[in-house]
Structure 1
Amino acid sequence: MRLPIVAGWPACTVMNCEADQAGYGEDKCVTHLSEGELGGWLSRLGPEAEIHLARTQLAKGTLDQIKGAVTGQDDVPQFGYLSLRRAEIEGGVDLCYSRFSKEVDLYGLKVSKYLDFEGVQVSGGLDANFIEAPQGVDFYRAKIGGSLNLEGSKVGEQVRVARCDIDGSFLLRGCQVSGNVECYEVKVSGPAYLSNMQVVGDISFRNSSFSDGVQFFYTETSGYFNVSDSEFSGFVEFEGLRIAHDLIWERASFRDDVTFDKADLSGLVQGSCLFYKGVNFIRTIFRSAVIIQACARRVDFWGARFEVGGTLLLRYAMVRMTGAILAGPTSLVAFNRNFVDIFGDPMDEFVIPHEDPNVKLLDMGSVNAGNLTLVDIDLTPCRFAGAFNLDQLRLEGEWNFGTPPSGRVGITPFTWAKRKIIEEERQWRALRSHPLVLRSGWGDPPDNPRDVPGVAALMTTYRQLRKGREDAKDEPGANDFYYGEMEMRRHNQSWGKGERWLLQFYWLLSGYGIRASRAFGWLIISMILTILLMMGFGLPQDSPKQEAAGTVPPGGGKVTFEIDKEDPRNPIGDRFTSKRFERALNVTLNSVVFHSSDQDLTTTGTYIEMASRFSEPVLLGLGILAIRGRLKRGS
């Protein structure tokens, strides 16, 4: 950013000299004034004088003489306009506590020592870009009425902008600093352009306030980067930021979105931070085992790389981890209490008092889940498509998935089975290609149906999630994933295949062997049907009587009898009596345990009993299996 200067100021009349004329009756530059001319020129100056020293070479002490000439009765140097544009000064520049009623132009200034603007008050802007100051630059307690521009400067030892008010923009873009950048308790009203800095030491912007956007594009530091206790009101961009040591953001707050796209963080991340909106770590490299503590509405780790793993302690956030590279054990944890600082004081989360503090994972496609642990994470909206080693994903604490719609399926008396479902299945069932009665209640269909995985892919996802819960000795938790796996397997078969019919009956009779109520319901129906059929057709009219027939030899002797039994006769008359009910119940109960009742039955009754002895023990076994699956715990 360039600040206005006095246009058309004449150059020195000495041949080949490009410096500005001193003015105030002198047509030469200050360098070419004789001692007497210099004294006369200084005597004509006064408070609010406009000093033109562009491209001038000043000897040591000359600037101090000028300061004295513009000092008022209050003992404070008072400049109007000051230009040291491309000037060269032997020694340092000490303008401490000076006042400037107009702009200050230090563009390209070269000093052999330092530039000290402590306590200055500038009504306009201060342009100090491309300066060279081997011993540092200091703007401690300065008040700048416009912009402060140090863009492209080369500074040794330290750049200090502390306890400073800047009413315009703040520019350190492209600075090369051999020491530290110390900016603390700074208030910046305009945007801050702090990109492409190369700092050998540390960078600190702590306890500061930025009312507009801030850019740190591709800034590099060999030390730490500290923004603790600072407040950023605008969009903050840390794209390409490279930090050799730690990132410190204790109690920092960001009111707008923040991006760390392609940042490279070699050290730790210290402290807890508050993001009013979202923060993205897209393609960020974490080279140490970081612990990130943050409150944020959105956190994006798309393509981020955790070279040795890390722990992500979050609150309120919706998290995307698509394509994240987890080279070491990584945990995503929904922190269930307020973060506290090193002094034990809780972070003030008043900005999001009505938000749900739970953490939701949105997507983990292309992630190696073998190194991922999820603690108390809501997986209701999570897409698993493309993730691998899902069977090694660790789920701890209270983890949630979606559920099917409540209520009946269309106008039928049936309801959707209560179970855990993944987001991809919900989207698949909500596709407009499905009948309205089957997709009703499953939420909005996806914008692009091609983004929805097929049933074969969903079956694989459910299988891996089921295996993971089984390996964790969580049989009850595995049941829902097994149900989803079998559902996708059933829908993956056409009606022309026998496997589809087999799975259809398996689902209908027992919910794939894990719905005890369904199996016992069918068992009760089967038993009632068996009793009714036995009473109506299976039990004979009367119990068949045995008859003994034999012949007595004429001369006496041994008599041989033949014992016969008459065939059971089909019932007639009143078949539904209490006595017949008792006999039918006995037959049915024996059939349930695969045992013959040894009662006389009609031919029809014999076949009914055979069917009952086959079907009812199967239903009983399916019900017991389902109960065992719900109650079993890992040993």
Structure 2
Amino acid sequence: MSTSSAGSLTPSWPHCAHGADPDTDPVGCRGIRVSAFAGRAIPMRFCLAHLSEASRDIYLRSLTPGANIDLRGTTFTEDLLTRLLTALQDPTTQRPHLGDARFRGARFGSNADFHGARFDGSADFHGARFDGVARFVKVQFTSGAHFYGARFAGEAGFGGVQFTGIANFYGTRFDDETSFYGARFAGRVSFGGVQFTGNANFCEARFAGVASFDGAQFTTHALFDAKFTGEASFSDAQFAGGAWFERSRFSDHASFSGARFDGPAWFGEVWFAGNADFVAARFVGSFWGPVTCVGVLDLSGAVFEVPVTLDIAARQVLFMRTRWESTATIRLRYASVDLKHAVLAAPVAVAAHPAPFTSAEGRLVDEGPLTDPAGVRVVSVQGVDAALLVLTDTDLSDCLFSGAFHLDQLRLEGRTVFASPPTGWHLQGIRPVRWTRRRVLAEEHHWRAQTAGQPPPPPGVTPPTDRWRPGSDHPDPELTPDPDDVAPLYRQLRKAFEDSKNEPGAADFYYGECEMRRHDHTGTPRVERALLWGYWLLSGYGLRASRALGWLAVSMLATIVLLMGFGLPASSPKQEATGTVPPSGGEVTLTIDKQPPQNPTGDRFTSDRFEKALSITLNSVVFRSSGQDLTTAGTYIEMTSRLLEPTLLALAVLAVRGRIKR
């Protein structure tokens, strides 16, 4: 078996074999023989490092600026490398000029200085080893540069380097300080699996193509004040020390999925022009912004082990299955937030930030094209333990609550917005109706849209305000919540408002609970539904004073009309006395008989009869008897009035009390 690396196996090229020993080192020197590439018919059996001085001079004099060289496996001293680069020096620029350069498996035993060199062809440092300081400062790689599996034992300086083609550092190991300060990467670059044992500095670096740091390991500090024009991936990267991405700009998709931040992770003033993916990332140290994301900031499945404050301005933020193991404050702008199945081990506060964020130095953070209203919309808390959740100044008009735990302990602070029923008048058959104004849950919207058979709106089109809004599963009845699913949600939210001493705010949720029970044909008995229908019709479940007063006025008017027509007698009954006088002049016995009231005839609707009927009706409202003589029909009319009208008055009082109770 052979290999191209400087390992213990025989290399694939004709090698020098200097110093080979059958017992200790049967391969010997792995440097490629110069003879086949010197360009002269001189028998050279050794590599450049082991040539005689005279033969080495012949080889070096044969080189011209821009020449292709093949020095795979060669061991370089600082002097030998200097002589090589001097031989390739361009007299115009006074800098080394190389064509294709093959340093695969080479070993640089001391300092290696390629400062200012230019590689016009492919530069192959695959498996090379740098035991001392390696300087590639301001080097130009106009074609591909391959450092796959290389190892830098000392400092590595790539400041100002320019990579026009592919830059491949996959599996490279940097054991000391590494600097790519001001580097320019025009093509695809891979740092996948790279190990940075010392500090890694990418400040002012520019990545124009796809940049991959997948699986990279940063043992100490990593500094990225960089600009990524193409896609950037740090998937499964490990940052054992601090990770500074302050003021970095990502013009395309950026992925940190599976990354681990064991130290502080600074993302202050970071700009994501596309989507930013932190799926399943783990933050053991602190994490904070402010971060601006024009697309979707996905923190689904991420884990925050320490208290954090997240300042985010983004169109959409996903916290699905995100786990907070300590307290967190999430301050947002412009964002639609999804908290579905998030795990909260400590209190988490989600709040809308009223003003643009500022940096630690007091600079206003650029929010760019985020010009929509800066409010925060929570779209789901399904599966969340709401006992530890606080929502402040949020829009919950599209929020799904089904499946949340301890919803009655949810804290809603500041101005909280819920959905409203459709506006305007609508026809139900031939009957015009107008929906009562109240706060409505999104689940009720979805159910009513499904039962009404509404077609789903076209993609990207906002449903009109005069219709119920369909859900994402519309019109599938199996996936759309039923009234028996929605009623407990209203009940728990009502209790949350009541526990916070907000009785007026709880009224709409009691209304919604009763509405769902009234339409629930599975969990609510028929008799109970009939009672709820009557309760709704007469007073809006004891919450609509105007409805109760309206029915009271109708009832009083009907009572007055009925009393005038049938309840008041034709005239007040007169008492008559009759007596019997015995012929003997004895005792006289008088019998006083009151005539029964007579049903009225003739003109019944007179002002006098109206006054009497009004007096009787008003007394009935306050549950008093007027003492007025009535016909038999009038007696029953008064009895009915004395039962119904005080009830309607009480419902009206109850509705007013529910709106002003403290």
TM-score, normalized by length of structure 2?
0.90
* Kept in 1: contact 2:445–2:470 (CA 8 A): no
Q: How big is the shift at 1:518?
A: 0.7
SS at match of 2:202: strand
* Cα deviation, residue 561, structure 1: 4.3
2:202 is aligned, of 156, 180, 183, to: 183
1:153-176 CA-partner distances (Å, limit 9, x unpaired): 111122211111111112111111
Write out aligned runs for 1:73-112 (5 A).
73=91, 74-112=93-131
Report deviation, 1:407. 2.4
SS of 2:285's equivalent in the other structure is: coil
Consecutive unaligned residues of structure 1, counting only runs of 5 or more, are 1-8
Residues 138/624 of structure 1: CA separation in 2 closer, same or farther (3 Å cut): same
Alignment of 1:354-365 (within 5 A): 355-365=372-382
Tell me if the contact between 2:97 and 2:119 (Cα under 8 Å) persists in the aligned partners. Answer: yes
2:512: which partner in 1? 484
Q: 1:34-73 CA deviation, whole Å, 9 max, x = no partner?
A: 0111122223323223232111122342101112222233
1:260-279 equivalent positions in 2, closer than 5 A: 260-279=278-297
CA distance in 1, matches of 2:186, 2:266: 26
Q: Which amino acid aligns with 2:402?
A: A
Alpha carbons 2:78, 2:112 under 8 Å: kept: no
Amino acid of the structure 2 residue aligned with 1:461: L
| CA deviation vs aligned residue, 1:131-153 (integer Å, no higher than 9, x gap) | 11111321101122112221101
Matched, 1:120 2:136: no
1:469 pairs with 2:497: yes
Alignment match, 2:470 = 444
- Given the alignment of the two structures, is residue 308 of structure 1 paired with residue 326 of structure 2, yes or no? yes
Q: Give the whole-Å Cα distance in 2 for the aligned partners of 1:10 and 1:372.
A: 66
- Answer with 473-482 or 79-88: which moved more: 79-88
Which of 565, 573, 577 is 1:536 aligned to?
565
Matched, 1:507 2:536: yes
Among 22, 28, 32, the alignment partner of 1:20 is 32
Partner of 2:6: none
Matched, 1:389 2:406: yes
Q: Which moved more, 1:304-313 or 1:494-503?
A: 494-503
**Is the CA contact (8 Å cut-off) linking 1:11 and 1:29 kept in structure 2?**
no
Question: 1:373/1:624 Cα in 2 relative to 1: closer, same or farther (>3 Å)?
Answer: same
- Pick aligned residue for 1:287 from 305, 320, 327: 305
Tell me the amino acid that sits aligned with residue 562 of structure 2: L
How far is the alpha carbon of 1:559 from its aligned partner? 6.0
Give, in angstroms, the shift of residue 424 of structure 1.
0.8
- Aligned-partner SS, 2:361: coil
Q: Which amino acid aligns with 2:232?
A: V
> Aligned letter for 1:626?
A
Q: 1:458 aligns with which of 486, 502, 508?
A: 486
Conserved 8 A contact 1:60-1:91: yes
CA distance in 2, matches of 1:243, 1:496: 56
| 1:226/1:247 contact within 8 Å kept | yes
After superposing the two structures, state which structure 1 stretch, 123-132 or 410-419, moved more. Answer: 410-419
Where 2:178 maps in the other structure, the secondary structure is strand
After superposition, the C-alpha distances for 1:211-238 in whole angstroms (9 at most, x for unaligned) are 1111111111111222211111221111
SS in 2 for 1:77: strand
Distance 1:248 1:126 in 2: 31
Within 1, Cα distance between the matches of 2:87 and 2:336?
63
Deviations 1:435-463 (A, max 9, x none): 99xx9922336143222222222111111
Asked whether the 8 Å contact 2:130–2:154 carries over to 1, the reply is no
Q: Which residue of 2 aligns with 1:5?
A: none
The residue correspondences of 1:576-591 to structure 2 (distance < 5 A) are 576-591=605-620
Alpha-carbon distance in 1 for matches of 2:543, 2:340: 33
**Residue 620 of structure 1 aligns to which amino acid in structure 2?**
L
Selected match of 1:498 from 517, 527, 538? 527
**Counterparts of 1:255 and 1:180 in 2: how far apart (Å)?**
28
Q: Which deviates the most, 381-390 or 108-117?
A: 108-117
Q: Does 1:336 align with 2:354?
A: yes
Q: Give the match's secondary structure for 2:331.
A: strand
Determine the C-alpha separation between the residues in 1 that align with 2:368 and 2:253. Answer: 21
Contact 1:402 1:423 in 2 (8 A): yes
1:519-570 Cα distance to aligned partner (Å, 9 max, x none):
1110000000001001100111111122234456778798664433211111
d(CA) in 1 for partners of 2:411 and 2:287? 24
How big is each residue's C-alpha offset from its partner over 1:351-379, in whole Å with a ceiling of 9 and x where there is no partner? Answer: 122x2211111111110000000011111
Gaps of 5+ in 2: 1-11, 19-26, 456-464
State the alpha-carbon separation in 1 of the partners of residues 388 and 454 from structure 2: 40
TM-score under structure 1 length normalisation: 0.94
Shift of 1:496: 7.6
Q: Does 1:152 align with 2:171?
A: yes
Contact 2:16–2:32 (CA<8 Å) still a contact in 1? no
Contact 1:103-1:126 at 8 Å conserved across structures: yes
Task: State how far apart, in whole Å, the 1-side matches of 2:182 and 2:273 are.
Answer: 22
Identity %: 38
Q: In 2, Cα distance between the equivalents of 1:448 and 1:337?
A: 41
1:427 to 427, 433, 446: 446
Count of matched residue positions in the alignment of Structure 1 and Structure 2: 621
In the alignment, what sits opposite 2:243?
225
Distance in 2 between the 1:246 and 1:13 partners? 50
Deviation (angstroms), 1:78: 2.2
Q: Which moved more, 1:80-89 or 1:66-75?
A: 66-75
1:405, CA displacement in angstroms? 1.2
- 1:38 and 2:67 aligned: no
Q: State whether structure 2 residue 154 is matched by structure 1 residue 138.
A: no
The AA in structure 2 aligned to 1:464 is Q
CA contact (8 A) 2:280 2:303 kept: yes
Per-residue displacement from partner, 1:392-442 (whole Å, max 9, x unpaired)?
000111111111112234142331111111111111111147699xx9922
CA contact (8 A) 2:577 2:591 kept: yes
Amino acid at match of 1:359: V
Corresponding residue number in structure 2 for 1:377: 394
Match of 1:6 in 2: none
Aligned counterpart in structure 2 of residue 53 of structure 1, from 60, 71, 83: 71
How far does the alpha carbon of each residue in 1:251-273 deviate from its partner, in whole angstroms, 9 at most, with x for none? 11111111111111011112201
- SS of 2:604's equivalent in the other structure is coil
Distance 1:299 1:127 in 2: 38
Go from structure 1 to structure 2 and tell me whether the alpha carbon gap of 1:13 and 1:341 turns closer, same or farther (over 3 Å shift).
closer
> Structure 1 stretch 230-239 or stretch 470-479: which is displaced more?
230-239
What is the alpha-carbon distance in structure 1 between the residues aligned to residue 394 and residue 585 of structure 2?
97
Q: Is the 8 A contact 1:315 1:334 kept in 2?
A: yes
Counterpart of 2:21 in structure 1 is: none
2:221–2:243 CA contact under 8 A, matched in 1:
yes
Which residue pairs with 1:3 in the alignment?
A: none
Map 1:571-610; keep pairs closer than 5 Å.
571-610=600-639
Contact 2:16–2:31 (CA under 8 A) maintained in structure 1:
no
Secondary structure, aligned partner of 2:552: helix
The one-letter code sitting in structure 1 at the alignment partner of 2:642 is: R
- TM-superposed CA distance for 1:583, in Å, is 0.8
1:185 match: secondary structure? coil
RMSD: 2.2
